[in-house]
Amino acid sequence: MSSPVLAVDFGTSNSAAALLQDGCVRRLRIEGEGETLPTAVFFPERGPMLIGEAATTALIEGEEGRFMRALKSVLGTPLLHESRLIGGKRRTLAEVITAFLAALRERAEAETGLTFQRVLSGRPVHFHSLDVARDAKAEADLRACYHDAGFSDVTFLPEPEAAAFASQGASGETGLIVDIGGGTSDFTLFRRGAAGAEVQASHGIRLGGTDFDHAISLALVMPEMGLGGELKRTLGEGRLPVPRAIYADLSTWALIPFLYTAEVRRQVADLLRHAVEPEKIGRLATVIRDELGHDIAFAVERGKIEANKGTGGAVDLGLVEPGLRIPVSVGQMTAALNAQREGLRAAMYETLMQAGTSPAQVDHVILVGGSSLMRMVRDEVQAVCPTARVSQAEAFTAVVDGLALASEARINA
């Protein structure tokens, strides 16, 4: 009897695991009773690494240590292999991802009583848009992390293709998977035949929920901390614009932990000395001093979710300054995400073009991934495929379901 295959959806924001058992998908409880695990880690100053909800709780409760999220986004980049002081010892982000995957494997084995040496992992169609070499490097990086986590046999399947295998519909129809995750947007055009989903084309771009958060933060939140402001010159007349780099990093989940250095604190202190609006730069100084970057990122995410309901929301920055709340209206969010909307629309058209299919030929669009819950995603889908019916799959588990269904045939191919 062949050894069991673990299906793993290693996501930017959430991860899941499943296996095919007696012909049926069995999702594994890898977070208490939950079937999804936040892709987050926390290294306390003392004690072992925490993952998932425990990592987030440690951050929220103010425990001293290093919180990290959106680890998948650094695959294929030099940052993955840079050694940094994390949790009291020097580590690379590759080692952090390996530790996360090893913990996920251990939880899956504890849940099932099985030993997993083979894994079928989801991957975006493209880790990095329009960069073939970096895309290949990202897959090689992730493969190495799986091997180091204890898997001897590692196979990959594009995430939207997995979701197509798990989708339901009538025979003969043409379907389009729109999978909007935390870090990438992926699309698969398929036709449903007698043997199931027959993939016609797949396409993907490096754009996801963390990019939505990044755009909203830069447009609405960072200006309240000095972005877009001016600095007085030390010598001479005239003014200089406030540099953008710190704000860009502060709005990027994966880069936030690397802002808490003596060098960045010196840079912010210099900005404060020359600020035309010192009260705003003072807020930035508070964020860096008290290491509140992730608190802001979570607040932006919550504000986005509230605004997505259609009644507007707010980013609560009371930790930075008592009573500070930044309203987020539907109109403001729409304006902030205009470039992202255009990117999604172009990517859907590109997928259809690759398949030689017109929008009118698409019968069914299936939305997958946590960020597919954004109203703008459905709006863009309906703009591109106005005659198709649109349905929402299981946002966080459709991919892992499809991976489990494909696992035996794919890994033995």
- Residue 413's pLDDT band, with cuts at 50, 70 and 90, is low
Q: Considering 285, 320, 336, which residue would you say is the last residue of a domain?
A: 336
| Same domain? 97 vs 151 | yes
The whole-angstrom separation of Cα 203 and Cα 256 is 29
Q: Is residue 296 in a domain? A: yes
Estimate the share of the chain in helix, then strand, then coil, as percent rounded to the nearest 5: 45, 25, 30
| Same domain? 48 vs 154 | yes
| Same domain? 401 vs 328 | no
Q: pTM of this prediction?
A: 0.93
| Same domain? 161 vs 16 | yes
Query: What is the mean pLDDT of the segment spanning 94-123?
Result: 97
| Same domain? 243 vs 129 | no
Q: Is residue 179 in a domain? A: no
- Burial label, 164 (beta-carbon count in 10 A; 0-12, 13-18, 19+): buried
Q: Considering 286, 306, 336, which residue would you say is the last residue of a domain?
A: 336
pLDDT > 80? residue 265 = yes
Q: Is residue 197 in a domain? A: no
Over residues 371-399, the pLDDT tens digits come to 999 999 999 999 999 999 999 999 899 99
| Same domain? 247 vs 149 | no
Stretch (H or E) spanning 412: none
DSSP 90-148: EE-HHHHHHHHHHHHHHHHHHHHS----EEEEEE-S-SSTT-HHHHHHHHHHHHHHHHH
Q: Considering 316, 336, 356, which residue would you say is the last residue of a domain?
A: 336
| Same domain? 159 vs 47 | yes
Q: What is the CATH number of the domain that holds 53?
A: 3.30.420.40
Domain that holds residue 125: 5-167+395-411
The whole-angstrom separation of Cα 261 and Cα 245 is 15
Query: What is the mean pLDDT of the segment spanning 10-22?
Result: 95
Q: Residue 179 in contact with residue 348, Cβ under 8 Å?
A: no
- The per-residue pLDDT for 85 is 87
Task: Give the count of domains, the chain.
Answer: 2
The whole-angstrom separation of Cα 169 and Cα 402 is 14
Over residues 215-255, the pLDDT tens digits come to 999 999 999 999 999 999 987 788 999 999 999 999 999 99
| Same domain? 128 vs 38 | yes
- The per-residue pLDDT for 410 is 61
Lookup result for tokens 């079928």: 120
Q: Is residue 33 in a domain? A: yes
The whole-angstrom separation of Cα 349 and Cα 231 is 44
Query: What is the mean pLDDT of the segment spanning 308-334?
Result: 92
Q: Is residue 177 in a domain? A: no
- Residue 411's pLDDT band, with cuts at 50, 70 and 90, is low
**What is the percent of the chain with per-residue pLDDT over 70, rounded to a whole number?**
98
Query: What is the mean pLDDT of the segment spanning 33-37?
Result: 94
Report the DSSP beta bridge partners of residue 190. Answer: 175, 199
Q: Is residue 180 in a domain? A: no
Query: What is the mean pLDDT of the segment spanning 29-57?
Result: 94
Mean pLDDT computed over every residue of the chain: 94
- Ramachandran sector of residue 202 (left: φ over 0; alpha: ψ -120 to 50; beta: rest): beta
Q: Is residue 313 in a domain? A: yes
Q: Is residue 283 in a domain? A: yes
- The per-residue pLDDT for 398 is 94
